Amino acid sequence: MQSEHRTTMIRKAQPPGRLKALWQRREVLLALTFRQIRGRFSKPVVGLIWLVLQPVLLALVFSLFFGLLVRVPSNGMPYPAMVFTGVALWSLVQNAATQGANAYESAAPLLRQAPLPRLYPVLAGVFSATLDSLIALVIALLTGLAFGVHPGWPLLAAPGIVLLAMIAAFGLSALLAVLCGLWRDSRQMVPLGLQVLMFASPVIYPLSLVPQDWQRLYALNPFAGIINALRWSLLGAPAPDPVNFSISALSALVLGMTGLWIFLALEGRAADAL
């Protein structure tokens, strides 16, 4: 047959071999990402409305409650635009993490059909979450413009900042995937954990609200530096402190690498329940 040259070696795999397999089947990853996007929104127009409506409504509620009622300071930025940027980026983290936690279960039919890198469902979740987030970020940018904010050249840094967010979100997602694959009841804690992480990140408040003495420690949360930098990039907020941002950026890379490494080391054991 035409595919004679392909040989599948089945044995207890080691991480380097698994890393190579990730690249070889990239076409499948693309198809899975498309499926993830398509599967959630069976009708494109309705899907787009849902996609836009969710962050808009959330940002609206936060703006009314925290902006107008509680009067959370916004460090010179228009509060709705500030919170929208936070919510838009947070949707990436939240969706990627949630899909990661469910990755083994939701991808089970595919993993049972043909040999496939088990990281693909996780990666597809991160990619589709990023697409959602990008749409919300464009709206955040437009909200800023509507409030008379002009971002200027820092806008060019936005893709790099989003990439950093993707790496951190991937790490979190991969960790949750193996955790929930190994111990299925740990999924119960994911929504609460994400909520705590959201309040520990500058989503509804500006980074400047955190006391100066705590800024270094706070920067260990990768999303702190990422969201703050995004507000500088999209909303013309003051430039981030270089040291604090570097801490967050490094933290994001460490989280991404740790997630990848732990996933590759434990994915086999987590798959035993498939």
Partner 1 sequence: MPCETMAIEAHQVCKRFSLGGGSRPLYHLLGGEARKSRLALDRISFALAPGKALAVMGRNGSGKSTLLKILAGVIDPTSGQAVLRGQVGALLEIGAGAHPDLTGWENIRLAARLLQVPPSRRAIYYERTNAFSELGAKLDEPTRWYSAGQYARLGFAMAAMAPTDVLLIDEALSAGDAPFQLKCFDFFYRAKAQGRAFVMVSHATAVLRDLCDDGLVLNEGKAVYTGPVNEAVAHYDTLVLS
Where do we find the tokens 């509680």? 70
Token pair of 89, please? Answer: 């980026």
The closest of 145, 136, 162, 155 to 78, measured between CA atoms, is: 145
- The C-alpha atoms of residue 210 and residue 218 are separated, in whole angstroms, by 8
Where do we find the tokens 């955040």? 140
Give residues with Cβ within 8 angstroms of 156, minimum separation 6: 233
Q: Is 109 in the site for partner 1 (CB under 8 A)?
A: yes
Q: How far is the CB of 123 from partner 1 (least distance, A)?
A: 15
Interface stretch with partner 1, choices 32-40, 55-63, 157-165, 227-235 (CB under 8 A): 32-40
Closer residue to partner 1 (CB): 83 or 123: 123
Q: How far is the CB of 184 from partner 1 (least distance, A)?
A: 5
Q: How many residues bind partner 1 (CB under 8 A)?
A: 42
Q: Is 266 in the site for partner 1 (CB under 8 A)?
A: no
Q: Is 116 in the site for partner 1 (CB under 8 A)?
A: yes
Per CB under 8 A, contacts with partner 1 among 165-224 are 181-186
Q: How far is CA 99 from CA 44, 120, 196, 227, in A?
A: 21, 12, 18, 21
The amino acid at residue 125 is G
User: Which residues make up the interface to partner 1 (CB under 8 A)?
Assistant: 1-4, 6-13, 27-28, 31-32, 35, 38-40, 42, 109-116, 181-186, 268-274
